Homo-oligomer: A and B are copies of this chain.
Amino acid sequence: MDVRTDLAIESREMYIKKHNREIDGVVAEEEREGEIKFTTVKVKNEEGAKKIGKPIGNYITIDIPEFTVYDGGIMDDVSKVLGKILKRLINLEKKQTALVVGLGNWQVTPDALGPKVAEKIMVTRHLEVVMPEVMDDTVRSVCAIAPGVLGITGIETGEIIKSLVDKVKPDIVICIDALASRHIERVNRTIQISDTGISPGAGVGNNRKEISEKTLGVKVIAVGVPTVVDAATIASDSIDLVIDELISKVSSGKEFYNMLKDIDKSEKKLLIKEVLSANVGELIVAPKEVDMIVEALSKIISNGINMSLQPDMEMEDINKFLN
């Protein structure tokens, strides 16, 4: 029941809420591009890293405006902001190669974001051999893979990526992943981009191993969207809320006040277990229209990545290419 989140912005918020001040070694800055707000959380040193629970590096969070997935125009705007942020982080030379990795399980809708993005990436690496004439200076060499998940392949996803990186030798790896959020209101409404790769334990299927420059030997950009909340989080939040509410109603120091303050983690865990008693597999909370939303998000993100990797091409030409 530890408060685990894949989002640096949430970790920071929780720290600030608890300690009433910014984390030492962390700075945050908000920017805005038209209607779209994005926040950069910079983890600058080991102290900051320890306190926020994320490696040193940059974590940029885009707030996706409400109803974006129903509006092609705003979808394009978000793609453009994403493309711009990625360009800041990527910095490739003309003749370098990018490998895009769609993490997750395409058979489980809220975990299918990565594979759905991977299939919409403009891949060009093979054209160097097949059609070298189109691979002029304006076209970057890009390849993509959706390696599947451990339960379906029997192979650690990190192992698959590592073996491919050793073979293909890309100059950058971009991983896309569905995340778990702490807060319902972030579900499908936030894109996090970081230059630190994938931390252990992140993602909807929470057994992931680290995928980073340390493990792969090449810079790793991670792009993630929280698509679910764990059902236990809802239960836990509900319990916290009612307890806070009760605490606010009684004077501090009183017997009942102390009792409320005393409810500890293990007791809470038991209560949550009772609510979610059933042996029906991992329970997730998601909006009913999750299929449609994940499809729309995959378009936003693949467009953003394509724009960042092909800075000399127009969106239109990229789309024509993508037959």
Contact = CB atoms under 8 A, between A and B. Distances in A.
A109 B108 contact: no
B276 A184 contact: yes
Contacts of A286: 283-284, 286
A49 interface: no
A66 B126 contact: no
A154 interface: yes
A243 B242 contact: yes
A188 interface: yes
Interface of A: 66-67, 70-73, 107-111, 118-119, 123-127, 141-148, 150-156, 159-160, 162-164, 166-168, 183-189, 204, 231, 234-239, 241-243, 245-246, 249-250, 255-256, 259-260, 263, 267, 271-272, 274-292, 316, 319-323
Nearest to A186: B278
B160 A277 contact: no
Interface-central residue, A260, A289, A321, by most chain B CB under 10 Å? A289
A132 to B, nearest CB: 14
13 contacts: A67-B323, A72-B316, A73-B316, A107-B119, A107-B291, A108-B289, A111-B288, A126-B151, A145-B148, A159-B167, A163-B167, A238-B271, A281-B289
Given A167-B162, A284-B288, A278 B185 contact: yes
A173 to B, nearest CB: 13
Report, nearest first, the 9 A-B pairs whose CB atoms are least far apart. A185-B278, A123-B154, A143-B154, A125-B154, A238-B238, A163-B167, A281-B287, A256-B256, A184-B278
